[in-house]
Structure 1
Amino acid sequence: MRLLITTYAFLNIILNFTGKKSYEKIYYDNGTIKSEGWLVNGAKEDYWKFYYSNGIVQKEGHFHQNKPAKYWYFYYQNGSLESEGHYANGKKNNWWLFYDIMEKINHKCQLKNNQKNGYCLMYKNEKLIAASKYIAGKKIKEWTNFVLFKKENKLSDLK
């Protein structure tokens, strides 16, 4: 009996320490899937997908401790790619790419803590037409002449 109690207590400690992991699916009232992904102790973890009510994927990416993490993809209601980029600590960071409804790149920006912070490159018909520089969400300069842009900036900052 003592061995049984010790084994039960040990298993209980391990389950509480490692957390309970389960796969969850949530549905709209119309029966189509709304979201699906992993939960650990009730918090979103690992890969998740979210859907529009028409069944098309709305967004997909990783969570860590209930916050978006790593690389994410966002889609328009027709299923074409809208944007993609990195999360860190639940906030948009590093380079983010934004597309028009035809999945042609519209602009790409460096972000920090959900704000533009660094460079934004603007495109029209997949050709670079302008560049801007931001600090903490505030535009500080814009270029349409790329000779001047290259002269005034270190291109290594675009990485």
Structure 2
Amino acid sequence: MKHLFFICCLCITFSVSGQKKYQKTYYDSGQMKEEGWMKKGVKTKYWKFYYPNGALQKEGRFKNGKPTKYWYFYRENKTKKSEGHYINGQKSKWWLFYDENEKVNHKCQLKNNQKNGYCLRYKNEELIRAEKYKNGEKIGEWTDLKSFKKENSLWDLQ
């Protein structure tokens, strides 16, 4: 009977430890620092992170402890700072970057946390320059749409 009780307790312990658990951590001030799901001690699913003043800093999903899918980043004054995709913990695909007025000031194609592809620069919501990068190094720049279209395939912008 003792063995059966011990085995039952052991099974319950293992089944509970493998389940997801919602976790919140706080700054010393008592303000929330982060909140989200943990599974086996690793961040998973949706998480939110906060500045010490309580404003949302960033939010997005984790898979196996690494950022994945689409993330949003904010400034301490609560304006949008940037947003984009993660693949296996690395910034990838198109990322949008915002000015203080939450207007897109540039958007770039990234791969493995580096600019890799096109980067489009805006001023007052108007395209003013296009750049092309390979593994983080600038390999081209255009300041007018006509020359850009002539030298590049617009399919690359997708």
- TM-score norm. by structure 2 comes to 0.92
CA deviations on 1:77-128 (whole Å, 9 max, x unpaired) are 1001000000001010000000001100010000000000000000000000
Aligned to 1:33: 32
Distance of 2:59 and 2:18 partners within structure 1:
23
> What SS is found at the alignment partner of 2:150?
helix
Distance of 2:95 and 2:9 partners within structure 1:
48
Closer/same/farther in 2, CA of residues 13 and 32 from structure 1, 3 Å limit: closer
Alpha-carbon shift at residue 8 of structure 1 (Å): 3.0
Aligned to 2:8: 8
Tell me the number of residue pairs that the alignment of Structure 1 and Structure 2 aligns: 158
1:1-159 equivalence runs, <5 A: 1=1, 4=4, 8=8, 11=11, 15=15, 19-159=18-158
Alpha-carbon shift at residue 12 of structure 1 (Å): 5.3
Distance of 1:154 and 1:10 partners within structure 2:
61
Distance of 2:18 and 2:153 partners within structure 1:
47
Alpha-carbon shift at residue 15 of structure 1 (Å): 2.3
Alpha-carbon shift at residue 151 of structure 1 (Å): 0.9
Alpha-carbon shift at residue 11 of structure 1 (Å): 4.1
> What SS is found at the alignment partner of 1:15?
helix
Distance of 2:19 and 2:43 partners within structure 1:
12
Distance of 2:133 and 2:73 partners within structure 1:
23
> What SS is found at the alignment partner of 1:140?
strand
- TM-score norm. by structure 1 comes to 0.91
Distance of 1:78 and 1:58 partners within structure 2:
10
Alpha-carbon shift at residue 21 of structure 1 (Å): 1.2
Closer/same/farther in 2, CA of residues 22 and 13 from structure 1, 3 Å limit: closer
Alpha-carbon shift at residue 20 of structure 1 (Å): 2.6
> What SS is found at the alignment partner of 1:29?
coil
Closer/same/farther in 2, CA of residues 25 and 14 from structure 1, 3 Å limit: closer
Alpha-carbon shift at residue 145 of structure 1 (Å): 1.4
Alpha-carbon shift at residue 55 of structure 1 (Å): 0.3
Unaligned runs of 5+ in 2: none
Q: State the one-letter code of the partner of 1:85.
A: G
